[in-house]
A and B are shown apart, each in its own frame.
Chain A
Amino acid sequence: MLKWAQAALSRRNLLLGGGAATIGATSICATRTVAQEGHGNHAAGAKPQGFAAPSHQTAHGAMITVGTVDNERNGFDPTKLLTDWYTGTVSTLPDGRRLRSFEIVAEEKEIEIAPGVMFPAWTYNGRVPGPAIRATEGDRLRIVFKNYGSHPHSMHFHGIHSARMDGIPGAGVVGPGEEFIYDFDAKPFGCHLYHCHALPLARHIHKGMYGMFVIDPDPARHPDNAEVAKSRLFGSPENAEWQEMAMIMNAFDTNFDGENEFYACNTIAHCYAKEPIKVVKNRPVRIYLVNVTEFDPINSFHLHANFFDYYDQGTTLTPTLKTVDLITQCQAQRGILEFSFKDHEPGAYMFHAHQSEFTELGWMGMFDVVEELA
C-alpha cells in the first residue's frame, strides 16, 4: 500500500498530482516561508562555521573544493608549472646547427589531483602535464624517451617530422623498459603539444601522458614581423618583458565511467583559485594554452573584465582573432593569448572555462593584478 510513497517521488508524479487539493501539504506550507527567507541569506550565511575564506575565494562563495593539495608529495607545484620551461641541453651539430637534447621518462605515479583525491596517473618525468618543452624554430631536437611504466608508451609530437618519428604503434611506441630517440627539426613555430599515442589512445591521454611543445619563431626568418618574433623568442630581452604562462586544460575521470569528475588548468582543481597568479599590471601577459581534456568535445577559456588577441596554434605572428574574451578549443587544439591589465585597476580577475560545469568542477582561477611584484 505504501507504493505510492515511493512512486510519488518522481518529479513527473508530483506535477500530475499537483492540482489536487492537499491535506498534508499544510505542514509544507508552514515551513516553506522559512526556507525561502533563508535562501536570500545564503551567500552570507552559507559558510560552514569557523571557515575563514581568503577574500579572493569569496568570489565563488562556498562553491569550491575543500582543503589543499600536497604539492611536495606530487613533486610539482601548479604555480611553478606556469613558467617551468624545459629547454633541453644545447649543443652544436657539425653542420653548425643548434641541437637541443631532452630526456623524458614515462613512469607510473599516484598524484593528488584535488585535495584528498588520489589518481593513478601515467606521467612524463613524474608530472602532469609533462615537461613544457621549448625550442626555437630550426633547432634539431633529440628526445631520449625511456619507458619505465608497465604499459607501452610513446611521445607523439604535433609538429613536422617523418613517419618513423611519429610515436605511433610501429614507429616509436616502446614497451616497458625500452628506449626510443625521437629526432627531428623544430618546425613549424607555434604552440603545440605532445602526447602518448599508444593504444587505447583515450586511456593513455586521460591518465596524464601529455605536455606542451612550444617552438619560438626565429626573428631572422620573419623580417616583416621581427619585433613580434623577438618578443616570442624565449630568453631575448624583448621576451623578458612579457609574463608568459603555460596552461594545459585537462580533466580526470576518477571513477573511470567515461565522464570527468575533476576539471582543471594544469591538473590541480581550483589551484589558481586558491593561489591566484600574480600579474604585474604594466607588463603584458602571454598564455600558451593547450586543451587535452578527454571525453568532452571541447573546452574553453574565458577572461573576466578584459579582452585578448588570439593566435590559433600560434603559427602566425599576427592574431587570428582580435579582441575576444572567449575562445574554444577541441582536444589537442591550442593557441596563444595576449593581453594586458595596463589600464585596469589592481585586483582579482577571474578566468575559467565557460562551460559552467567545467568551471564548477574545478577549472577556474584568478589573476591577482598588482602594481609591482613584492
Chain B
Amino acid sequence: MNENPRNLHPATTVAAPGSRHLAWLLLPVAVLAAAILWLVQTDPLQGFNNGAPPVENLTIERMVLDQDGLRMLVRAGGSEPMTIAQVQVDAAYWQFAQEPAGAIARGHTAWISIPFPWVLGEAHNVTLVTNTGATFDHEIPVAVPTPTVSSGTLASQAILGAFVGILPVAVGLLCYPALRSAGRNTMTFLLAMTVGLLAFLLVDTTIEALEFAGEAAAVFQGSIMVVLVAAASFLALMAIGRRNGSPTGLALATYIALGIGLHNFGEGLAIGAAFTAGAAGLGTFLVLGFTLHNVTEGIGIAAPLLKMRPPLLSFVGLALLAGGPAVVGIWVGSLAFAPQWTAIALAIGAGAIAQVIVEVTALLSRGADERGGLGGLLGPAAFGGLAAGVGFMYVTAMLVKI
C-alpha cells in the first residue's frame, strides 16, 4: 500500500526522456538563430542610426623604444573595426607601418612602428588619428630604450630581484633557530603576525591588480577579471591544499611561500615595467626599503615550522619559492607586457595569499582550541601579532613610497 506507481515503469523509459529532453535544446537554439537571421536581414534597429559616428576606443598595450624608433601594440575596442589613418609624435605627422595592415577588428591588436628619433631621458607624446579624425594619446613620460634580453641585463636584473625578493625572505628564515625556543604565546604571536602581514599583502596586491586592470583594454573588463582570477586561484589552492586535511608544518610553509612568491612575481613585473617606462632612478635607499619591508615574509614562512626539524635544504627551497619569482617578474616585466597580464599575475597572487591567510588562521585557532575555545584566538598574543604584522608592513612601506 506504500507502493509508488512510478516504480512500476519499465527501466528503459528512464534513459529515453534524457535524450528526448536534450532534443528540446534545439528549440531555444532555433529561436536564437531565427532572431539573429531576422535582425541581420531586416535591420529593424535602423531607426537607432542617428548619424552619430561609431564609438572608437584604442588601448596602447605595449610601447617599445629601440634604435629603429617606436613600436607600439594597440588593441581596438570600438563598436566597429578601427582604422588608424595617421600617427603624430610630439605634434608632427610621421610615417608609420602597421602590422597587420588595414582595419583593426574589435578586440584585435596591431603593431605600429614609427621611425622616430626619440631623445633619451625626455618625454614624448604619441597621437593616433583614426579615419574619423578621433585621436588617442599615449605619453612616454621618460624615453629610455626598452631593455632587451641579454646576459648583462638579465644578470643585473637578477641581482635587483635577489635584493628585493630572495634576500629578505632568507634573512627572515634565518630567524628560525632563534625562534625555535619560542613558547606557546610567542608561537601564537608569530602566526598572528604572519596573518597580519599576509592581510596587508592581500589588500596591497588586490589594489594593484585593480589598478593595472584599469589600464587594460575595456574588452577585458579588468575589475571582474581580477576578482574572478583571484577567486579561482584561491579555490584551486584551497582544494589542492586540503586534499589530505588542513596543511600544517612544511606543507603550510610551502603554501605561504607560494603565496608570497606569487605576490613577489607581480611586484617584480611592476618593477620591470617601471624600468621600461623610464623610472630608472631606483636608489639604494629604495632597494633597502624593499628588503626591510619583505623581511617579515621570511619569519611568516618559518612560523609553521617551529615545532619540527625540517632539512636545511627545504629552507633554501622555501626562500627560492618565495623570493625567486621577483627575479622572474623583473625579467618578464621589463619586456613591456600589456597591463592585463600584470593584473592577472597579481590576482593569482591575491588568491594565493587569501588561501594562506585561511590556513594560518585555521592553524592559529587549532592551537587556541587546545587551551579551550576561541579565547586564545582573540587573546592579547594573537591581537598583538596581527597588529605587529600589519603595522610593520605599513611602516616599512613608507620607505618605498615616492
B400 and A64: CB pair below 8 A?
no
* Residue from A4, A21, A117 within 8 A of B131 (CB atoms): A117
* Residue from B66, B97, B132 within 8 A of A118 (CB atoms): B132
Closest to A21 in B: B284
Most A CB within 10 A of own CB, among B67, B135, B266, B267: B67
Name the A residues within 8 Å of B123 (CB-CB). 11
* Residue from B68, B280, B285 within 8 A of A24 (CB atoms): B280
B68 and A65: CB pair below 8 A?
no
A63 and B153: CB pair below 8 A?
no
B86 and A65: CB pair below 8 A?
yes
How near does chain A come to B84, taking the closest CB pair, in angstroms?
A: 8
CB contacts under 8 Å to A, within B290-312, are 290, 293
Name the A residues within 8 Å of B293 (CB-CB). 1
How near does chain B come to A110, taking the closest CB pair, in angstroms?
A: 10
| A117 CA to B68 CA, complexed, in Å | 26
B270 and A25: CB pair below 8 A?
no
A117 and B285: CB pair below 8 A?
no
CB contacts under 8 Å to B, within A273-320, are none
Most A CB within 10 A of own CB, among B142, B145, B270, B271: B145
Does A46 touch B at the CB level, under 8 Å? yes
Type the 1/0 row for A1-41, where 1 means its CB is closer than 8 Å to any CB of B: 11111111111011011101111111110111011111101
CB contacts under 8 Å to B, within A58-82, are 62-67
How near does chain A come to B139, taking the closest CB pair, in angstroms?
A: 9
Among the listed stretches B21-29, B154-162, B169-177, B235-243, which one makes contact with chain A, having 4 or more residues with CB under 8 Å of it? Answer: B154-162
B133 and A261: CB pair below 8 A?
yes
Closest to B89 in A: A63
* Residue from B93, B134, B266, B280 within 8 A of A63 (CB atoms): B93
Seen from chain A, the residues whose Cβ lies within 8 Å of a Cβ on chain B are: 1-11, 13-14, 16-18, 20-28, 30-32, 34-39, 41-43, 45-49, 51, 62-67, 114-119, 252, 254-255, 257, 261, 269-270, 357, 360-362
Q: Which 8 A-B pairs have the closest CB atoms?
A: A254-B133, A38-B67, A20-B283, A360-B92, A17-B281, A116-B85, A46-B115, A8-B279
Seen from chain B, the residues whose Cβ lies within 8 Å of a Cβ on chain A are: 65-69, 83, 85-88, 91-97, 113-117, 120-121, 123, 127, 129-135, 141-142, 144-145, 147-148, 150, 152-153, 156-157, 159-160, 163, 204, 208, 211, 266-267, 270-271, 273-275, 277-287, 290, 293, 334, 397, 400-402
